[in-house]
Structure 1
Amino acid sequence: MIESPTILVIEDDPAVRTGIVDTLEYGGYKTIEAADGHSGMKMALQSSYRLLLLDIVMPGPSGFEILAALKKSRPGQAVIMLSARGEEQDRVKGLVGGADDYVVKPFSMKELLARVDAVLRRTHERPSLSPTHNFHGAVIDLNECFIKFSDGSRAEFSEKENSLLRYLIGASGRTVTRAEILRQVWNLDPERIETRTIDMHMAHLRSKLGKRIASCIITERGKGYRFIQPEKPE
């Protein structure tokens, strides 16, 4: 028998939190819950769960602060942001910060369960990838977000630079389009946004990787990017 996924709910409104928990348990999920940002931060970083439903405005650390801390310590953790706010800037901030989806309150039971099911499917299908890689004598650590060169020097990656590199390496030589990167790394709809953020992050990433490893990231003009594994010396 397959065990039901556990979902952590961080929501300060008791009525809303109870409604969400009841809905999830009705849908067959296990739940754990926190009523404010302080207990929510602790549970988000220390508890075992598959998905986090995270409110934005609450006593203690905000949902955005919890999300930032979570993405540093548990990269890849699935998160759905919950908020009564409907402004585009809040949705973009949550998604750019690493959330997998954003649901505006009030929402129906069917909508919530559909979003939860969809995010769990997507994150379950994410390919596993070794956290460390050796290229040209340098060690890339995708969990700790840095590259260490053979001379002992090192460079730190930002969260998004690290996520971008992780996705490119995980594509196993396949060309990934800019639209795919926006969807999968930035969680943004490429049809609704025009941005040069990929170019900016790619330039910063290449400069930190150094010339030899940066040359492994091939720009396919008009298509996207492809990471080719360096040839191992004989």
Structure 2
Amino acid sequence: MIPTILVAEDDNAVRQGVVDALTLSGYQVIAAKDGRQAMQYALERQYQLLLLDLVMPYHSGFEVLDALKKKRLGQPVIILSARGEETDRVKGLTMGADDYVVKPFSLRELLARVDAVLRRSTERAVIIEKYSYCHGEVDFDRREVKIESTGALHELSEREASLMAYLVANKGRAIAREEILRQVWELDPKGVTTRTIDMHVAHLRGKLGDVDQTVVQTVRGQGYRID
């Protein structure tokens, strides 16, 4: 899959330069010209990385980042800003940004940062090979569950394995159904019934032997969590 990058930048020349450089490097690009578009696209569009200017009309980059933190946890973000003060860098990174590039920057440096962040986010999703839990073990390479008490093996579908891997990678955090649809199904959650997620979780629990739902926990009003 070719990564899609959202560029939120109100300076026309800077925005076009970044868009051209990313396009020539083989990425798909969505461009937002101000804070209003940035807020809308960041929350509604499907993309793998957001390049976010801090100072924009209508909504600042910090406002967009705050909205992402509430609705799209784990979304990779690189801040682009002329505001290089330490307090701004610390604030941006604390709010969930993955990197911070101070203007003026070279396009070569920016492309290297983009590649590094995308590589890290991809690696985070695939490093889990096995997961042991109270009833047995999940082998993600073989896509199967082994129940310790009986020795039974249950094959996981590709989607079930991806769902389990995402929950395990985010242990201790309640994952909203909308986030699962975006990150595991790669679908826009708007207009998609959440029963899709619930049915897959039910099938997954059955194969895990999770009768009392203590492995894949339902967090009312929030989603699902593995502790």
Distance 1:134 1:93, change over 3 A: closer
Q: Secondary structure at the match of 1:125?
A: helix
Distance 1:83 1:142, change over 3 A: same
Query: Which of 4, 11, 16 pairs up with 2:14?
Result: 16
Matched ranges for 1:83-98 at <5 A: 83-98=81-96
CA distance in 1, matches of 2:90, 2:71: 22
- Is 2:31 aligned against 1:33? yes
Partner of 2:43: 45
Aligned amino acid, residue 96 of structure 1? T
Distance 1:23 1:143, change over 3 A: same
Q: Secondary structure at the match of 1:32?
A: strand
Between the aligned residues of both structures, percent identity stands at 61
Query: Which of 112, 116, 119 pairs up with 2:117?
Result: 119
CA distance in 1, matches of 2:78, 2:64: 12
CA shift for structure 1 position 28: 1.1
Query: Which of 82, 100, 103 pairs up with 1:102?
Result: 100
- Is 2:174 aligned against 1:141? yes
Q: How many residues align?
A: 140
1:120-171 CA distance string (max 9 Å, x none)? 000111134328x999xxxx72439xxxxxxxxxxxxxxxxxxxxxxxxxxx
Matched ranges for 1:171-190 at <5 A: none
Partner of 1:130: 167
When normalised by structure 2's length, the TM-score is: 0.57
Partner of 1:163: none
CA distance in 2, matches of 1:116, 1:104: 14
Partner of 2:65: 67
1:159-209 CA distance string (max 9 Å, x none)? xxxxxxxxxxxxxxxxxxxxxxxxxxxxxxxxxxxxxxxxxxxxxxxxxxx
Q: Secondary structure at the match of 1:48?
A: coil
Tell me which stretches of 4 or more aligned residues in structure 1 moved more than 2 Å. 140-144
Distance 1:134 1:35, change over 3 A: closer
CA contact 1:84–1:104 (8 Å) conserved in 2: yes
Matched ranges for 1:194-213 at <5 A: none
CA contact 1:54–1:81 (8 Å) conserved in 2: yes
CA shift for structure 1 position 26: 1.4
When normalised by structure 1's length, the TM-score is: 0.56
CA distance in 2, matches of 1:94, 1:134: 24
